[in-house]
Structure 1
Amino acid sequence: MNKQRPVYLDLQQIQFPATAIASILHRVSGVILFVSIAVLLWLLATSLGSAQGFATVSEIMNSLIAKFVVWGILTALAYHFCGGIRHLLMDMGHFEGSMESGNNSARAAMAITVILSVIAGIWLW
Protein backbone atom coordinates (compact mmCIF):
# COMPACT_ATOMS: atom_id res chain seq x y z
CA MET A 1 0.00 0.00 0.00
CA ASN A 2 2.05 2.87 -1.34
CA LYS A 3 0.15 6.14 -1.22
CA GLN A 4 1.61 9.14 -2.99
CA ARG A 5 0.51 11.68 -0.41
CA PRO A 6 2.33 14.95 0.06
CA VAL A 7 4.49 15.09 3.13
CA TYR A 8 4.87 18.85 3.23
CA LEU A 9 2.11 21.00 1.81
CA ASP A 10 3.14 24.62 1.21
CA LEU A 11 -0.14 26.57 1.28
CA GLN A 12 1.51 29.67 -0.17
CA GLN A 13 2.25 27.77 -3.39
CA ILE A 14 -1.40 26.82 -3.91
CA GLN A 15 -3.36 29.33 -5.97
CA PHE A 16 -7.06 29.19 -5.29
CA PRO A 17 -9.43 30.21 -8.10
CA ALA A 18 -11.59 33.30 -7.54
CA THR A 19 -14.64 31.07 -7.04
CA ALA A 20 -13.00 29.30 -4.08
CA ILE A 21 -11.97 32.60 -2.50
CA ALA A 22 -15.49 33.97 -3.03
CA SER A 23 -17.02 30.91 -1.38
CA ILE A 24 -14.69 31.12 1.63
CA LEU A 25 -15.29 34.85 2.03
CA HIS A 26 -19.06 34.35 1.79
CA ARG A 27 -18.92 31.92 4.72
CA VAL A 28 -16.62 34.18 6.74
CA SER A 29 -18.88 37.18 6.17
CA GLY A 30 -21.85 35.09 7.32
CA VAL A 31 -20.07 34.24 10.57
CA ILE A 32 -19.14 37.90 11.08
CA LEU A 33 -22.77 38.92 10.57
CA PHE A 34 -24.00 36.24 12.98
CA VAL A 35 -21.62 37.42 15.72
CA SER A 36 -22.33 41.09 15.04
CA ILE A 37 -26.05 40.59 15.62
CA ALA A 38 -25.36 40.26 19.34
CA VAL A 39 -23.36 43.50 19.45
CA LEU A 40 -25.91 45.43 17.40
CA LEU A 41 -28.83 44.14 19.47
CA TRP A 42 -27.05 45.14 22.67
CA LEU A 43 -26.45 48.64 21.29
CA LEU A 44 -30.08 48.91 20.24
CA ALA A 45 -31.43 47.69 23.58
CA THR A 46 -29.13 50.02 25.50
CA SER A 47 -30.02 53.05 23.39
CA LEU A 48 -33.75 52.41 23.74
CA GLY A 49 -33.59 51.66 27.47
CA SER A 50 -33.20 55.19 28.77
CA ALA A 51 -31.87 58.63 27.95
CA GLN A 52 -28.64 57.75 29.76
CA GLY A 53 -28.34 54.56 27.68
CA PHE A 54 -28.82 56.56 24.49
CA ALA A 55 -26.11 58.99 25.58
CA THR A 56 -23.79 56.06 26.34
CA VAL A 57 -24.36 54.45 22.94
CA SER A 58 -23.96 57.84 21.27
CA GLU A 59 -20.62 58.30 22.99
CA ILE A 60 -19.52 54.78 22.05
CA MET A 61 -20.46 55.28 18.40
CA ASN A 62 -18.44 58.50 18.19
CA SER A 63 -15.20 56.64 18.89
CA LEU A 64 -12.90 55.63 16.06
CA ILE A 65 -12.86 51.96 17.10
CA ALA A 66 -16.66 51.71 17.05
CA LYS A 67 -16.80 53.33 13.62
CA PHE A 68 -14.20 50.87 12.36
CA VAL A 69 -16.20 47.92 13.78
CA VAL A 70 -19.42 49.20 12.20
CA TRP A 71 -17.57 49.71 8.91
CA GLY A 72 -16.38 46.10 9.11
CA ILE A 73 -19.92 44.89 9.78
CA LEU A 74 -21.25 46.92 6.83
CA THR A 75 -18.50 45.54 4.60
CA ALA A 76 -19.35 41.97 5.66
CA LEU A 77 -23.02 42.70 5.00
CA ALA A 78 -22.22 44.09 1.55
CA TYR A 79 -20.09 41.08 0.63
CA HIS A 80 -22.62 38.60 1.95
CA PHE A 81 -25.35 40.37 -0.01
CA CYS A 82 -23.32 40.41 -3.25
CA GLY A 83 -22.26 36.80 -2.77
CA GLY A 84 -25.85 35.80 -2.04
CA ILE A 85 -27.09 37.48 -5.21
CA ARG A 86 -24.32 35.70 -7.12
CA HIS A 87 -25.41 32.35 -5.67
CA LEU A 88 -29.05 33.05 -6.53
CA LEU A 89 -28.06 33.85 -10.12
CA MET A 90 -26.04 30.64 -10.26
CA ASP A 91 -29.06 28.71 -8.97
CA MET A 92 -31.01 30.13 -11.91
CA GLY A 93 -28.40 28.75 -14.31
CA HIS A 94 -26.22 31.79 -14.94
CA PHE A 95 -22.40 31.78 -14.70
CA GLU A 96 -22.28 27.98 -14.91
CA GLY A 97 -21.13 27.59 -18.52
CA SER A 98 -17.43 27.64 -17.78
CA MET A 99 -14.92 28.18 -15.04
CA GLU A 100 -14.11 31.57 -16.56
CA SER A 101 -17.68 32.84 -16.18
CA GLY A 102 -17.69 31.67 -12.55
CA ASN A 103 -14.38 33.44 -11.90
CA ASN A 104 -15.69 36.60 -13.55
CA SER A 105 -18.84 36.62 -11.44
CA ALA A 106 -16.77 36.09 -8.29
CA ARG A 107 -14.47 38.96 -9.22
CA ALA A 108 -17.49 41.16 -9.98
CA ALA A 109 -18.99 40.41 -6.55
CA MET A 110 -15.68 41.31 -4.90
CA ALA A 111 -15.35 44.52 -6.93
CA ILE A 112 -18.88 45.62 -6.09
CA THR A 113 -18.15 44.91 -2.44
CA VAL A 114 -15.05 47.11 -2.54
CA ILE A 115 -17.12 49.95 -4.01
CA LEU A 116 -19.86 49.50 -1.38
CA SER A 117 -17.23 49.33 1.35
CA VAL A 118 -15.72 52.63 0.26
CA ILE A 119 -19.19 54.20 0.17
CA ALA A 120 -19.89 52.88 3.69
CA GLY A 121 -16.58 54.31 4.91
CA ILE A 122 -17.36 57.71 3.45
CA TRP A 123 -20.84 57.60 5.00
CA LEU A 124 -19.50 56.70 8.45
CA TRP A 125 -16.71 59.26 8.57
Structure 2
Amino acid sequence: MRLVDALQYRLPLAGYVSILHRISGIVMFALLPFVIWMFDTSLTSEISYESFTNAFVAGIGFVPAWFVKLTCLGLIWSYLHHFIAGVRHLYMDATHSVTKEFGRSSAVVTLALSLALTAALGAKLFGLY
Protein backbone atom coordinates (compact mmCIF):
# COMPACT_ATOMS: atom_id res chain seq x y z
CA MET A 1 0.00 0.00 0.00
CA ARG A 2 1.35 3.35 -0.96
CA LEU A 3 1.28 6.39 1.31
CA VAL A 4 -1.05 8.19 -1.09
CA ASP A 5 -3.59 5.36 -0.76
CA ALA A 6 -3.37 5.43 3.02
CA LEU A 7 -4.02 9.19 3.11
CA GLN A 8 -7.13 8.82 0.96
CA TYR A 9 -8.77 6.25 3.23
CA ARG A 10 -11.87 7.62 4.98
CA LEU A 11 -12.23 6.39 8.53
CA PRO A 12 -15.83 5.83 9.69
CA LEU A 13 -17.21 8.01 12.48
CA ALA A 14 -16.97 5.14 14.96
CA GLY A 15 -13.25 4.98 14.20
CA TYR A 16 -12.81 8.65 15.05
CA VAL A 17 -14.73 8.16 18.31
CA SER A 18 -12.46 5.24 19.17
CA ILE A 19 -9.34 7.30 18.47
CA LEU A 20 -10.73 10.21 20.52
CA HIS A 21 -11.42 7.74 23.35
CA ARG A 22 -7.73 6.88 23.41
CA ILE A 23 -6.66 10.52 23.13
CA SER A 24 -8.95 11.51 26.00
CA GLY A 25 -7.39 8.81 28.17
CA ILE A 26 -3.92 10.12 27.36
CA VAL A 27 -5.00 13.70 28.15
CA MET A 28 -6.41 12.65 31.52
CA PHE A 29 -3.23 10.73 32.34
CA ALA A 30 -0.97 13.60 31.26
CA LEU A 31 -2.93 16.13 33.32
CA LEU A 32 -3.12 13.90 36.40
CA PRO A 33 -0.56 16.01 38.34
CA PHE A 34 -2.75 19.08 37.71
CA VAL A 35 -5.83 17.20 38.91
CA ILE A 36 -4.02 16.07 42.06
CA TRP A 37 -2.83 19.64 42.70
CA MET A 38 -6.38 20.98 42.27
CA PHE A 39 -7.80 18.33 44.60
CA ASP A 40 -5.13 18.86 47.26
CA THR A 41 -5.32 22.66 47.10
CA SER A 42 -9.09 22.72 47.25
CA LEU A 43 -9.28 20.52 50.36
CA THR A 44 -6.22 21.37 52.49
CA SER A 45 -7.52 24.50 54.23
CA GLU A 46 -9.66 27.57 53.73
CA ILE A 47 -6.60 29.60 52.77
CA SER A 48 -5.50 27.05 50.16
CA TYR A 49 -9.06 26.94 48.82
CA GLU A 50 -8.87 30.72 48.32
CA SER A 51 -5.64 30.28 46.34
CA PHE A 52 -7.34 27.52 44.35
CA THR A 53 -10.29 29.74 43.40
CA ASN A 54 -7.91 32.64 42.78
CA ALA A 55 -6.12 30.53 40.14
CA PHE A 56 -9.25 30.83 37.99
CA VAL A 57 -9.32 34.62 38.43
CA ALA A 58 -5.68 35.72 38.49
CA GLY A 59 -3.82 32.65 37.20
CA ILE A 60 -1.00 30.64 38.72
CA GLY A 61 2.39 32.36 38.66
CA PHE A 62 3.14 33.18 35.03
CA VAL A 63 0.20 31.08 33.73
CA PRO A 64 -2.82 33.32 32.96
CA ALA A 65 -6.28 32.48 34.28
CA TRP A 66 -7.72 31.84 30.80
CA PHE A 67 -5.12 29.11 30.28
CA VAL A 68 -6.02 27.49 33.62
CA LYS A 69 -9.68 27.54 32.56
CA LEU A 70 -8.81 26.17 29.12
CA THR A 71 -6.84 23.34 30.73
CA CYS A 72 -9.82 22.56 32.97
CA LEU A 73 -12.07 22.62 29.92
CA GLY A 74 -9.76 20.08 28.27
CA LEU A 75 -10.03 17.92 31.36
CA ILE A 76 -13.81 18.25 31.35
CA TRP A 77 -14.01 17.19 27.70
CA SER A 78 -11.57 14.32 28.14
CA TYR A 79 -13.43 12.95 31.16
CA LEU A 80 -16.87 13.27 29.57
CA HIS A 81 -15.82 11.81 26.24
CA HIS A 82 -13.84 8.98 27.84
CA PHE A 83 -16.74 8.11 30.15
CA ILE A 84 -19.45 8.21 27.46
CA ALA A 85 -17.32 6.34 24.92
CA GLY A 86 -16.43 3.78 27.58
CA VAL A 87 -20.11 3.21 28.35
CA ARG A 88 -20.70 2.87 24.59
CA HIS A 89 -17.98 0.21 24.32
CA LEU A 90 -19.27 -1.65 27.38
CA TYR A 91 -22.82 -1.62 26.01
CA MET A 92 -21.66 -2.89 22.64
CA ASP A 93 -19.65 -5.66 24.31
CA ALA A 94 -22.47 -6.68 26.66
CA THR A 95 -25.25 -6.74 24.07
CA HIS A 96 -23.18 -7.82 21.05
CA SER A 97 -24.53 -4.78 19.17
CA VAL A 98 -21.76 -4.75 16.62
CA THR A 99 -23.40 -3.55 13.44
CA LYS A 100 -22.40 -0.76 11.13
CA GLU A 101 -25.62 1.14 11.76
CA PHE A 102 -25.40 0.90 15.55
CA GLY A 103 -21.73 1.83 15.49
CA ARG A 104 -22.46 4.99 13.52
CA SER A 105 -25.53 6.02 15.54
CA SER A 106 -23.83 5.38 18.88
CA ALA A 107 -20.78 7.32 17.69
CA VAL A 108 -23.00 10.28 16.82
CA VAL A 109 -24.67 10.11 20.25
CA THR A 110 -21.28 9.87 21.96
CA LEU A 111 -19.90 12.91 20.16
CA ALA A 112 -23.10 14.93 20.60
CA LEU A 113 -23.39 14.18 24.32
CA SER A 114 -19.74 14.80 25.12
CA LEU A 115 -19.62 18.07 23.18
CA ALA A 116 -22.97 19.35 24.50
CA LEU A 117 -22.07 18.59 28.12
CA THR A 118 -18.62 20.10 27.63
CA ALA A 119 -20.18 23.26 26.18
CA ALA A 120 -22.60 23.53 29.11
CA LEU A 121 -19.91 23.02 31.75
CA GLY A 122 -17.50 25.24 29.82
CA ALA A 123 -20.06 28.04 29.80
CA LYS A 124 -20.30 27.70 33.59
CA LEU A 125 -16.50 27.60 33.91
CA PHE A 126 -16.06 30.78 31.88
CA GLY A 127 -18.85 32.55 33.78
CA LEU A 128 -21.51 32.76 31.08
CA TYR A 129 -24.21 31.78 33.58
TM-based fold match above 0.5: yes
Q: How do 1:65-104 residues align onto structure 2 when only pairs under 5 Å count?
A: 65-96=67-98, 98-104=99-105
**2:4 aligned counterpart, secondary structure:** coil
C-alpha displacement at 1:36, in angstroms? 2.0
> What is the CA–CA distance in structure 1 between the aligned matches of 2:121 and 2:37, rounded to whole Å?
22
Superposition RMSD in Å: 1.9
Give the direction of change, closer, same or farther, for the CA distance of 1:13–1:89 in structure 2 (3 Å limit): same
From 32, 35, 42, the counterpart of 1:37: 32
> What is the CA–CA distance in structure 2 between the aligned matches of 1:51 and 1:113, rounded to whole Å?
33
Kindly provide the CA deviation profile for residues 8-52 of structure 1, in whole angstroms up to 9, marking residues without a partner as x.
Answer: 336542210111111110011011111222101112323444555
C-alpha displacement at 1:78, in angstroms? 0.7
> What is the CA–CA distance in structure 1 between the aligned matches of 2:18 and 2:31, rounded to whole Å?
20
Residue matched to 2:60: none
1:59 aligns with 2:61: no
**1:9 aligned counterpart, secondary structure:** helix
Greater Rg over alpha carbons, structure: 1
The answer as to whether partners of 1:95 and 1:101 remain within 8 angstroms in 2 is: yes
**Number of corresponding residues:** 119
> What is the CA–CA distance in structure 2 between the aligned matches of 1:47 and 1:82, rounded to whole Å?
27
Percent of pairs with identical residues: 29
Residue matched to 1:115: 116
C-alpha displacement at 1:114, in angstroms? 1.2
